[in-house]
Structure 1
Amino acid sequence: MISFIPYASFRFFIVTGILLLPVIIAGLSGKRITLYNDLVAIVMVFLIFYGQPAQFVSIIAFIIWQAVVVKSYFELKKRNNRSVYFYTAVILAIIPLFFVKLSADVPVLGFLGFLGISYVSFRSVEVIMDLRDGLINEIPLNHFLRFTLFFPTISSGPIDRYRRFESDLKQVPSGKEYKELLYLGINKIFQGFLYKYIIAYLVHQYWMSSPALASNSFFSIWMYMYAYSMYLFFDFAGYSQFAIGFSYIMGIRTPENFNKPFLSRNIKDFWNRWHMSLSFWFRDFIYMRFVYLMIKKKWIKDRYLISDIGLALNFLVMGFWHGFLLQYIIYGIYHAVAFISFNRFEHFNKKHHIWPKNNKWIHALSVLITFHVICFSFLIFSGRLNFLW
């Protein structure tokens, strides 16, 4: 069976381009054919998963499960907005993802997984949390399906928000606005080709895979660290540009995922630039909710301690989200320690001014230090250091 993994072959681009021609024609006329867009989504989801029957069955069962969980919570909330209903709904929404991540240690659970289960799970959980907070008053089934099964971002994001997505669906761009979206979308797709199929390929082929980096010598591992970091960025950023580009063509302004992350001046700045849709999702729905809960319940009075625990929880969950392998857990702990340490340093520096912010040389040194802190975290993430433990 020929692969139809999103953005993994030219066949995918050709078929998708053909299917989107009526969307483009309608968009240039200032119109949107909602029924046709839904049909394209159904066809694309079928093409992506039909070659893997187990995955195809899994995603159908998963979507039904999520729809039932969201609808049930919505009905229960209307009667009584009890916390137990909310937490139960969130747990039920993430249970399938939990089992899939556990399949690294328990392979028999792997049958539950499908390409993109993490990102579809995020969408369901976000809808439940927005319902809890009263930010969404209702969510028709067809709107929920359009959001969760939006094919350009189904496999690896970027992670959109329901209210922003719904706003784009309701506001049909004029012909002039769509022409600009189409231009930007095509540019992003070509940028994706540059990143993923040229730069990332060359880095992988002639740097990462170099025999000179095969040994476990200090120099080989150090050079591999740079190579893997560059490959990870250009491969993933390229994919994100494809997803955003096709989203634009469909009239949906999917948020950006990267903003020159290797120019970050500190770890906090980095997480405002790297995989931004994921970083902001974790910040809003894990870190901020934890901080709010602690302050509201007054279980911990020290706000710095609350922040530190929230950051530790945030990055530990992020590590486990990547998988239950030790390298991912250490990666999460590493970033938690780095972020907490920087927060403490920043607080100290406000009082003593030992690290001036407006000095260009200090800024350059900050970028250099941050770059190496980040690259070392990617080395941990890559699993190259697994021989140490």
Structure 2
Amino acid sequence: MMFPHMIPYAEPIYFFYLLLALCPLAIGLYFGKRVKWYESCVTLLFLWMSFGGEQWHQGLALVGYVLWQSGVVGTYFHLRSKKNQTSVFYLFVLLAIFPLAITKVVPFFHDNQPSLLGFLGISYLTFRSVQMVMEMRDGMIKEYQWLHFIRFLLFFPTISSGPIDRYRRFEKEANQAPADYLDYLEKGVKRLFLGFLYKFMLGYFFGQVLLPVVAKEAMMSGGVSWALVGYMYVYSMYLFFDFAGYSLFAIATSNFMGYDVPINFNKPFLAPNIKEFWNRWHMSLSFWFRDYVYMRLMFTLMKKKVFKSRVVSSNVGYFALFLLMGIWHGLTWYYIAYGIYHATWICLNDAWIRYKKRHPSLPSNRLTHSLAVIGTFHGVCLSFLLFSGFLNTLFFLK
């Protein structure tokens, strides 16, 4: 049987094949047995559906990428205790990032033509590989088996856009069936149907029905207008429901397979400040950058006493973090400006928190909390307008 090329979770027929393929696995898990060989077959099937056929070049890039990262991570595991540990560590982090860096830089110099090394989900696989190197250095991963690493790397429900799992958590569940599979099944069904509501109903409404209308009106107005404000809010709603819906599908599929991968969204538009927003929005990515970039940079800055003030070190860390996040999305002015916007906002938010601690008489009640939520929501929507690239089209590419 030949399966057509399919983007994960993009069309109803994908879910038909998915649920059909997962039924035998679910039956085994219900009876307390994880059938690893069948799970591997299902993984290969859905990788073929995503990266085979007309996307064969992405499939080849994926194979080459897996071989590269297996070599990088495996080699570092054997060299991590040698002399010049710090230099070796930084070298292998750079080697793990190298394929992703190439795919980000090539389009910038070749008229937005994608790199031949690129494939859907390369960023999220890179996060997993870099995480492995860092945790090996910290002594948190004490054993390495290349087949287990590849299994973690190619976990197909989350391969294209996350959520970003942690190896040690994944490894515990990969070797045994969950104690109460019915609980996993119940959570999976709820998340699957909520994902349908988010992505195929609300996401479709905001993205396919409303967004083209407000975009056309904003283009006709030719500048700052109420139509542009409408575009800002409609795009923000579309971005949330589309991405949150996809994440729910990935998590639901993982639940059906007996894995409890981390959630990605937790009512982000109810956050009362920007730092809390990033603790609720694309959480697995936020926490990955916090743990593996920001905290390590802060430790280095404080240890080497680069700045006398901890506040200055923290602010430098925020700007480095969000600039990196912006560049990760793409080498364009609006992604970089998006990163600067959030870094500035978080620094101001920290300054405000320090000011409130020195002035405890400032009001803090339901009204101030509600105003903070409303203000944060509008500020985030403004940042999403910047992130969308629509301003670039509106003002620079007419």
1:53 aligns to 2:56 (yes or no): yes
- Consecutive unaligned residues of structure 2, counting only runs of 5 or more, are none
RMSD value, Cα: 1.5
User: How far 1:93 moved relative to its partner?
Assistant: 0.7
Q: What residue number does 1:197 align with? A: 200
Structure 1 residues 135-176: Cα deviation after superposition (integer angstroms, max 9, x where no partner)? 0011201110111000000000001111111122234213xx
Higher deviation after alignment, 79-88 or 13-22: 79-88
**Tell me, what secondary structure is at the counterpart of 1:84?**
helix
- Measure how far apart 1:354 and its partner are: 6.2
Deviations 1:65-107 (A, max 9, x none): 0000001111111334611111000101111111111233133
Corresponding position of 1:146 = 151
Q: Deviations over 1:290-339 (max 9, x none)?
A: 01111222222211011000111110000011111111111111100011
Alignment check: 8 A CA contact 1:81 1:132 kept: no
Runs of 4+ in 1 over 6 A off after TM superposition: none
Which of 262, 269, 276 aligns to 2:283? It is 276
TM-score by length of 1: 0.96
Q: Distance in 2 between matches of 1:328 and 1:109?
A: 18
Deviations 1:165-204 (A, max 9, x none): 1122234213xx1011011112111111100000010112
Q: 1:206 maps to what in 2?
A: 209
The alignment partner of 1:40 has SS state of: helix
Measure, in 2, the Cα distance between the counterparts of 1:203 and 1:76.
Answer: 51
Are 1:355 and 1:362, in contact at CA under 8 Å, matched by a contact in 2? no
Question: Matches of residues 51-130 of structure 1 in structure 2 within 5 Å?
Answer: 51=53, 52-80=55-83, 82-107=85-110, 110-130=115-135
Q: Deviations over 1:14-52 (max 9, x none)?
A: 111111111111011111111211221122112210030
The match for 1:9 is 11
Aligned amino acid, residue 243 of structure 2 = F
For 2:44 and 2:210, the matched residues in 1 are separated by 40
How far apart are residue 134 of structure 1 and its match? 0.4
Picking from 338, 343, 361, the partner of 1:336 is 343
Contact 1:207 1:227 in 2 (8 A): yes
Unmatched 5+ stretches in structure 1: none
Task: Tell me if structure 1 keeps the 8 A contact 2:5–2:51.
Answer: no
Distance (whole Å) between structure 1 residues aligned to residue 378 and residue 61 of structure 2:
40
1:148-297 alignment runs, 5 A limit = 148-174=153-179, 177-210=180-213, 211-215=216-220, 216=222, 217-297=224-304
Q: Residue 104 of structure 1 contacts residue 323 of structure 1 at CA under 8 Å; is this kept in 2?
A: no
Q: What is the rounded CA distance, in whole Å, between the counterparts of 2:114 and 2:253 in structure 1?
A: 33
Q: Which one-letter code corresponds to 1:241 in the other structure?
A: L
In structure 2, what is the Cα distance between the partners aligned to 1:339 and 1:163? 31
Cα separation, 2, equivalents of 1:93 and 1:5: 26
Aligned to 1:314: 321
State the Cα distance separating 1:112 from its structure 2 match. Answer: 1.1
The secondary structure found in structure 1 opposite 2:34 is coil
Percent identical residues: 46
Secondary structure of the structure 2 residue equivalent to 1:166: helix
Answer yes or no: is the 8 Å Cα contact 2:294–2:317 preserved in 1.
yes
Amino acid at match of 1:385: L
Contact 2:318/2:346 (<8 A) preserved: yes
Using the alignment, how far apart are the partners of 1:167 and 1:27 within structure 2?
A: 15
